[in-house]
Amino acid sequence: MKYFLIFVSFVLSFELYASPLQDAIDSAPDGSIIRLNAGVYQGNITIDKPLSIIGKEDGVIIDAMGKGTVITIKSSYVTLKNLHITGSGNRHDKLDAAIKIQKASQCEISDCNITDTLFGIDMQMVNNSIIQNNYITSKDLDLGLRGDGLRLWYSNDNLIKKNSLYKSRDMVVWYSHGNTIEDNFAEYCRYSLHFMYAGKNIVRNNHYQYNSVGIFFMYSQDTIATKNVIKSSLGATGMGIGLKDVSNFIITDNTILYNAQGLYIDRSPFEPDTNNTIEGNKILYNAEGMHFHSLCENNIIKDNTLSGNIENIVNDSRNSKTEKNLVEGNYWDTYAGFDRDRDGVGDTTYKIYQYADKLWLYNPEVKFFYGSPVISLLNFLAKLAPFSEPIFLLEDKKPRLKERSLNHG
């Protein structure tokens, strides 16, 4: 994929104290750079030509005073940089936003501070553009009523890098392909990153914490998620990484910790004769390390570390076929085997069963006591002397005896 920055040969500088910003935009020739001094400028502006608006210093504020979208971009080769954009309207039906980009390419939004807007940056059919180093927060509303901090819709081959979302709703990537999403941060959002019907994207080096869900992939394919840190997803169903109906995914070298559910797998891989590779991840101190739901077979699960989880493997569906996944070379803190030849691999395979005594799997009321001494004792007794045949979940034929070193915080 290629990213383009526009080259501007004509530079135009405005001192905008009396003239409206929209008038300056309308009168500027194509390719101009409008440099703004500190001050407050009226929002609800539209940019329909190649143009750059750059804050010369901190304190350049573009404010829509609670009405509509602050800046609408309807042209390619537009750059916004070093601006404070605030005060959108609050209408979801109109997608009131700080910045709305429509049917454009090779745009750049960088170093902007976006506050008190319903949606942050809304990209509709935008390609080969850069969204970088922006701070985005929503209006002070309940979580579900906030707009999305960053929204890609039918937008391909973009670079989304080093943005911070704080108390927004979601970052969504829908019907969008070939995007690189890296080095971003999200905190106190709902979905820090949500994919639907998207393919060939790269998600790497992002840090997500205290959100309801870290990363959720749905109905997507051919994507790599690597070296991300997802921790402390909030609530009883807080989730690190979720895979639903996805195929040809590579989930590698991620750190997933302190979540209710670390890695959630639902009917994945979805397409016949495909695999998902889950490799080299650190899945630590979650209530449930890996949670299988519905049919889940043909995943390649290898060289992961599962440690400190209350349960490493959970299966809430009796027809998941979890035993038909390739599981090899993982470290399990509950493995009790030996390594007499000292090759780092256990002498016996590690088989994981689900016992009928684990009533909390199917009863949310019992789950309240999950991790208590009483439930721990019942689980121990069930393994010691099960009163019914346990359900075989999966087998690691080469369990490792040593944890992988942690590279992420």
pLDDT exceeds cutoff 90 at 171: yes
DSSP-assigned beta bridge partners for residue 46: 72
Q: What fold is seen in the domain 1-139+147-168?
A: Pectate Lyase C-like (2.160.20)
Q: What is the rounded distance in angstroms from the CA atom of residue 293 to the CA atom of residue 369?
A: 22
Question: E strands of 210-304, at which residues?
Answer: 213-218, 224-226, 229-231, 239-244, 250-252, 255-257, 261-266, 276-279, 282-284, 288-293, 299-302
Using DSSP's 3-state secondary structure scheme, residue 31 falls into: coil
Residues 6+ apart with CB under 8 A from 307: 282, 283, 284, 285, 331, 332, 333, 403
For the chain, domain boundaries: 1-139+147-168, 190-355+390-409
pLDDT exceeds cutoff 90 at 156: yes
pLDDT exceeds cutoff 70 at 4: no
pLDDT at position 215, please? Answer: 97
- 112-149 pLDDT, tens digit per residue, is 999 999 999 999 999 999 999 999 999 999 998 999 99
Which region, left, alpha or beta, applies to residue 375 given φ > 0 means left and ψ of -120 to 50 means alpha? Answer: alpha
- 367-382 pLDDT, tens digit per residue, is 656 666 666 666 666 6
Using DSSP's 3-state secondary structure scheme, residue 100 falls into: strand
Range with the lowest mean pLDDT among 67-81, 320-334, 355-369?
Answer: 355-369
pLDDT exceeds cutoff 70 at 111: yes
Q: Helix, strand, coil proportions of the chain in percent (round to 5)? A: 10, 40, 50
Determine the average pLDDT of the residues in 199-228: 97
pLDDT at position 19, please? Answer: 44
What residue type is 364 in one-letter code? P
Residue 315 class from Cβ within 10 Å (0-12 exposed, 13-18 middle, 19+ buried)? buried
pLDDT exceeds cutoff 90 at 252: yes
What residue type is 214 in one-letter code? G
- DSSP H or E segment with residue 381: helix 373-384
CB 79 within 8 A of CB 108: yes
